[in-house]
Amino acid sequence: MASAAAWAYLACMTAVPAAPVHTSLSPRDALLAIAVMVVWGSNFVVIKIGLNHLPPLLFAALRFGFALFPAVFFLKRPKVPWAKLAAYGLMIGAGQFGVLYIAMTHFISPGLASLVVQTQVFFTIGLAIWLSNERVKGFQIGALVLATAGIGIILWHADKTTTPLGLGLTLLAALSWAGGNLVARSTPGVNMLSYVVWSSLFAVPPLIVASLVFEGWPAIAAGLQHADLTTWAAVAWQSVGNSLFGYAAWGWLLGRYPAATVAPMSLLVPVVGMTASALLLAESLPAWKIGAALLVMSGLAVNILWPMIARRLARPLAV
């Protein structure tokens, strides 16, 4: 295990391979990893584009609906209990993305959403400590302090584009992601692409019901009626690009390389997210926002990189 944070992040993406055969990314595979990070990072801009016409819960239902069909007919069901597929689908589908889409309607900017949702790493560690009595390590406390300081700066500068409600909803989405992480962590060795597809079977129905109850049929009908080619492209990007391509490529990389080699690439997600939001949606990047991002990113980096650095420093002493 590369680190608690690295495993927490990777557990929701794909199964950890038994015997990676390379220790450093080849130029071709590095480009593939960067492509995945670009897809996942720019996804927050795509979400905002889709929300221009679709109600958030309907958008989430469509995203998981197209991830489910037709892929479910080509991928074998992972050999895990139905209850765990259901738990993962509810936490990731309704809990993470349903709540995140609501937050991104009017309450938080895409760039900051891409950053704040990465706090799932700390929620995953906290839940693991609470549920299994794992001991918290010093570097994890330091990393959490850095990230919390960054979140505090965001809250201090709350405005019409980033409200306390939006920040709270995004943190709730991160907590739901962390719950999904622990469910996936309890069934290691499975194909996570198949896991994601089959768990979508349990994400779609509650999202449809929630959309009907809270958004109402008139809003659903109007959203579908006004959805243009760009909107449907956003749905396809979410389903095919973000879920299917992203998971498949990430899983393939983890089949060739140790988690410690691949995990640090995930730090590019909020970098791409904030950059894409600034370039494509004209989201401002004042000094306070850059400072907050650096603090949160520093916390994430410490969680992922510190155990690797510590092991490398200790190697000469063990010889």
How confident is the model at residue 7, as a pLDDT?
A: 33
Q: Give tens-digit pLDDT for 239-255.
A: 988 888 887 787 778 76
Give the pLDDT band of residue 55 (cuts 50, 70, 90). Answer: very high
| 259 residue type, one letter | A
Give the pLDDT band of residue 43 (cuts 50, 70, 90). Answer: very high
Integer-rounded Cα Rg, in Å, for the chain is: 19
Under 8 Å between Cβ of 310 and 12: no
Q: Give tens-digit pLDDT for 275-299.
A: 999 999 998 889 999 999 999 989 8
Nearest to 297 by CA among 258, 266, 276, 275: 266
Reported pTM = 0.83
Q: What are all long-range contacts of 189-192, with beta carbons under 8 Å and residues at least 24 apart?
A: 189/15, 189/16, 189/18, 190/15, 190/78, 190/79, 190/80, 191/14, 191/15, 191/75, 191/78, 191/251, 192/12, 192/13, 192/14, 192/15, 192/247, 192/251
Q: Which comes out higher in pLDDT, residue 189 or 280? A: 280
- Residues 47, 127, 19: CA angle, nearest 5 degrees: 80
**Maximum CA extent, the chain:** 70
Q: Give tens-digit pLDDT for 257-274.
A: 776 677 777 778 888 999
Give the pLDDT band of residue 11 (cuts 50, 70, 90). Answer: very low
Under 8 Å between Cβ of 247 and 71: no
Under 8 Å between Cβ of 10 and 263: yes
